[in-house]
RNA sequence: GGACCCGUGGUGUAGCGGCCCAACAUGCCAGCCUGUCACGCUGGAGAUCGCCGGUUCGAAUCCGGUCGGGUCCGCCA
């Protein structure tokens, strides 16, 4: 029997085939479309499995015909009848069920429907997103949303299968945890039982998964909901889902090897038709990624790499270049293919963009098809030198070289962002390809100029690479007086990010599990162990009871699903997302608290409510 | 916190100082139609142009504010 058979139906609307012809059976679903020819009415019956054509003949079934005449789009109906082969020449090859049709004997209206706010049966017609969100349950009926939600389900299903196959234990961690002062802003939940105290919603289960390693669970994973109270973007939401995993007795290579194999297996399971550009995944050190792509999440689907033009810029006589180099900065350029003919306004636009990204300006050198050089700086540096710079930037005739001179890293980052913008404008990326890559060896610490101290680049528990452990144990001077010259500032971490098509999928690290090293690391950031105990007390305590070497990673499921389904907006792969201002337009949340709710929590609202 | 874009019948668009008490498509309603599958044909209803204020003889159109949505910068791993 068909496993989808229920009280109301024998088959789904996607099941009926020639083999079922001659059977009397029932289907149930939404009326996708009605074609009323008078004595003959066709109903396209839809559910998430497909569409089956129902024929209602006034002669054959007068009662069913009368019912079908009152039916409208999106009514939910049950049709009982004989499944018949379609008349020769009337088959519909566009439908999987197109060779058959259900000849209605009975049509039962299970539910009527108002006219929907936007057409369900014409998904190509884009509706306003606010309307889609308000009527998300209708939007989810539409084929594109349905397809993406199903793809996401397959993604999570494949993730679970691979992890279970590899001995991972799936463990749920609490949603009401302790506020930690690091990272993003916490969502806070006031405690009723302990007035004045709050829980925080987890930004990630980071501490908990490390504690699970101390517990000896050895391999943990979770499809974990995470919360961050920051401003929203197309690729972010206040609540989002991570694949969170942690492994014991591992070195960096172990985690990366497992994750890479898992990612490949999952990708092939979810989108078998999409080629993975490189496997094994390319690996870049953080430094190399910045120097070559100006990004720690490079898009490898196209070249247009950055090139250091310091050698050519030195002694060029162009003051911006000279001063930048003298100040220890960088002059970097890239060659935009075929853009030599770009108009003045396009170049101006790119310059504005570069400024918005933090650069002081943008220098362009066009190599015309003839090989002639055209550049605002040509008369300062000379055609030969301009051409030499263009060549060094990898330009061919017809290309436009864009050059940014600024302090180290900023110059690359600005140009890296221009690279992404140009890649999009020029359509350089193959949309089918999945270009995964690793970026690793991040610096352990970043010098916080404003506060005059070192800060963890990622997780403060990330371990240095083995060769750099010594750097942490040989602090230059007084740890209470940090300096950007501290040798420990050069330490690289066993930290790895996974990027896909220019998006950061996620990142992780091997953690420090030794108390003395942890103490060193914390003191680098100007914290005492006591001070850190306030923030990470349980984990530090746990480390005194036998902690295995461990490491892990967290990958953004929403972002992954988004890329796998060719989207650029995370909302398109979430069933019930929020708007940029954090509202749920369907549920109309957030909503004002009842006065009694404040009181119960021992709180009083003092600010003026919005509006 | 900041910059920019959008808001016109149910939906998608057009109109961007007077030809507009607003056009087109689709949807909706009614009628006709026995092989349609974006069915077809005929007829009809439906928008004070997000809201408030201003400029003007005259505002969907220009200006200011406001609300909602989006994109980006900052923020955020």
**A464: DSSP letter:** B
* Strand B close residues, chain A 495-514, CB < 7 angstroms: 504, 507
pLDDT, tens digit, for every residue of A283-295?
A: 999 999 999 999 9
Between CA A370 and CA A380 the distance in angstroms is 22
Q: Which nucleotide lies at the shortest CA–C1' distance from A236?
A: B76
Nucleic strand B near CB of residue A57 (< 7 Å): yes
Nucleic strand B near CB of residue A86 (< 7 Å): yes
Nucleic strand B near CB of residue A33 (< 7 Å): yes
Q: How far does CA A591 lie from the centroid of its chain?
A: 28
Q: Name the β-bridge partners of A517.
A: none
* Strand B close residues, chain A 252-281, CB < 7 angstroms: none
A572: nearest Cα among A581, A559, A585: A559
Q: Name the stretches of chain A with pLDDT < 50.
A: 609-611
A164 CA – B74 C1', rounded, Å: 41
User: A124 near A143, Cβ under 8 Å?
Assistant: no
Give φ, ψ of A488 to 5 degrees. -60, -20
Between CA A601 and CA A118 the distance in angstroms is 42
A336 CA – B1 C1', rounded, Å: 35
Q: How many CB atoms lie within 10 A of CB A233?
A: 10
* Strand B close residues, chain A 131-150, CB < 7 angstroms: 131, 133
Max Cα-Cα span within chain A: 97
Nucleic strand B near CB of residue A356 (< 7 Å): yes
**A276: DSSP letter:** B
Task: Report residue A539 as tokens.
Answer: 């984990």
Nucleic strand B near CB of residue A358 (< 7 Å): yes
A291 CA – B62 C1', rounded, Å: 50
A117 CA – B18 C1', rounded, Å: 35
Is residue A163 exposed (0-12), middle (13-18) or buried (19+ Cβ within 10 Å)? buried
Q: Which nucleotide lies at the shortest CA–C1' distance from A94?
A: B37
Is residue A553 exposed (0-12), middle (13-18) or buried (19+ Cβ within 10 Å)? buried
| Helices A143-165, A252-270: crossing angle, 10 deg rounding | 140
Three-class SS of residue A528?
coil
A69 CA – B44 C1', rounded, Å: 20
Between CA A571 and CA A548 the distance in angstroms is 39
Q: Can you spell out the DSSP letters for A154-189?
A: HHHHHHHHHHHHTTPEE----SSB---SSSSPPPEE
Kindly list the distances between the CA atom of residue A137 and the CA atoms of A71, A114, A125, A140, A146, in Å, as whole numbers in the listed order. Answer: 21, 14, 17, 5, 11
pTM for the model stands at: 0.94
Q: Which nucleotide lies at the shortest CA–C1' distance from A228?
A: B76
Between CA A106 and CA A36 the distance in angstroms is 17
A596 CA – B68 C1', rounded, Å: 30
Chain B: nucleotides below 7 Å from protein CB are: 1, 10-13, 26-29, 32-40, 67-77
Give the pLDDT confidence score for residue A610 in this predicted structure.
Answer: 39
For CA atoms A451, A456, A461, A465, the dihedral sign is negative
Q: Which nucleotide lies at the shortest CA–C1' distance from A458?
A: B77
User: A468 near A510, Cβ under 8 Å?
Assistant: no
A183: nearest Cα among A171, A196, A201: A201
Give φ, ψ of A504 to 5 degrees. -85, 115
Based on C-alpha coordinates, what's the Rg of chain A?
30
Say if strands A50-57 and A100-111 run parallel, antiparallel, or are unpaired. Answer: parallel
A60 CA – B35 C1', rounded, Å: 15
Nucleic strand B near CB of residue A473 (< 7 Å): no
pLDDT, tens digit, for every residue of A534-550?
A: 778 888 889 999 999 99
Q: How many CB atoms lie within 10 A of CB A439?
A: 26
A143 CA – B37 C1', rounded, Å: 18
A52 CA – B27 C1', rounded, Å: 23
A12 CA – B42 C1', rounded, Å: 38
Give φ, ψ of A437 to 5 degrees. -155, 160
Q: Which nucleotide lies at the shortest CA–C1' distance from A124?
A: B12
**∠ Cα A291 A296 A298 (to 5°):** 80
User: A439 near A296, Cβ under 8 Å?
Assistant: yes
């Amino acid at each position: 029997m068909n496993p989808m058979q229920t009280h109301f139906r024998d088959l789904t609307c996607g099941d009926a085939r020639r083999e079922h012809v001659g059977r009397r059976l029932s289907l149930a679903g939404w009326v996708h479309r009605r074609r009323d020819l008078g004595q003959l009415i066709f109903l396209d019956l839809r559910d998430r499995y497909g569409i089956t054509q129902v024929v209602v003949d006034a002669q054959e079934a007068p009662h069913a015909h009368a019912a079908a005449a009152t039916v409208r789009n999106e009514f939910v109906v049950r049709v009982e009848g004989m499944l018949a082969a379609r008349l020769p020449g009337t088959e519909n090859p566009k439908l999987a069920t197109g060779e058959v049709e259900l000849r209605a004997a009975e049509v039962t209206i299970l539910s009527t429907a108002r006219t929907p706010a936007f057409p369900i049966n014409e998904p190509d017609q884009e509706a306003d997103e606010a309307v889609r969100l308000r009527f998300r349950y209708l939007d989810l009926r539409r084929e594109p949303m349905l397809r993406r939600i199903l793809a996401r389900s397959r993604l999570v299903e494949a993730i679970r299968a691979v992890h279970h196959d590899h001995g991972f234990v799936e463990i749920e961690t609490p949603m009401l945890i302790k506020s930690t002062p690091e990272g993003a802003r916490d969502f806070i939940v006031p405690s009723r039982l302990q007035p004045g105290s709050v829980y925080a919603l987890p930004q990630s289960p980071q501490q908990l998964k490390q504690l699970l390693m101390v517990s000896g669970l050895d391999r943990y994973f979770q499809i974990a909901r995470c919360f961050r109270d920051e401003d929203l973007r197309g690729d972010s939401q206040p609540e989002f889902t991570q694949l969170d995993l942690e492994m014991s007795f591992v070195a960096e290579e172990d985690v990366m090897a497992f994750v890479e194999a898992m990612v490949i297996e999952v990708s092939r399971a979810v989108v078998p038709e999409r080629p993975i550009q490189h496997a094994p995944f390319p690996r870049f050190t953080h430094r190399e990624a910045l120097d070559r792509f100006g990004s720690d999440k490079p898009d490898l689907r196209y070249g247009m790499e950055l090139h250091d033009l310091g050698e050519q810029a030195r002694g060029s006589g162009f003051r911006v270049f000279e001063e930048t180099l003298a100040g220890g900065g960088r002059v970097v350029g890239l060659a935009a293919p075929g853009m030599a003919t770009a108009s003045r306004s396009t170049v101006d636009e790119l310059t504005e963009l570069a400024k918005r990204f933090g650069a002081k300006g943008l220098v362009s050198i066009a190599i015309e098809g003839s090989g002639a050089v055209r550049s605002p700086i040509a008369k300062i540096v000379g055609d030969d030198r301009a051409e030499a710079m263009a060549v060094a930037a990898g330009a061919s005739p017809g290309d436009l070289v864009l050059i940014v001179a600024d302090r180290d890293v900023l110059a690359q980052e600005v140009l890296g962002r221009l690279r992404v913008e140009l890649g999009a404008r020029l359509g350089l990326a193959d949309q089918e390809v999945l270009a995964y890559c690793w970026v690793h060896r991040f610096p352990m610490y970043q010098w916080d100029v404003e506060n005059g101290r070192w800060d963890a680049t990622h997780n403060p528990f990330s371990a240095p690479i083995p060769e750099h452990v010594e750097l942490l144990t040989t602090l230059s001077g007084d740890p209470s007086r940090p300096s950007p010259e501290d040798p420990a500032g050069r330490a690289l971490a066993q930290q790895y990010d996974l990027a896909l098509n220019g998006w950061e999928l996620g990142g992780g690290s091997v953690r420090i599990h030794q108390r003395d090293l942890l103490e060193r690391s914390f003191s680098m950031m100007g914290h005492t162990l006591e001070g850190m105990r306030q923030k990470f007390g349980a984990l530090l305590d746990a480390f005194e009871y036998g902690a295995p070497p461990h490491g892990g990673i967290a990958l953004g499921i929403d972002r992954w699903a988004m890329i796998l389904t060719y989207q650029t907006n995370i909302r398109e792969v979430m069933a019930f997302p929020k708007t940029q201002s954090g509202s749920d337009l369907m549920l109309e949340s957030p909503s004002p608290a009842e006065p009694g709710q404040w009181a119960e929590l021992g709180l009083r609202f003092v600010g003026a409510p919005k509006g």
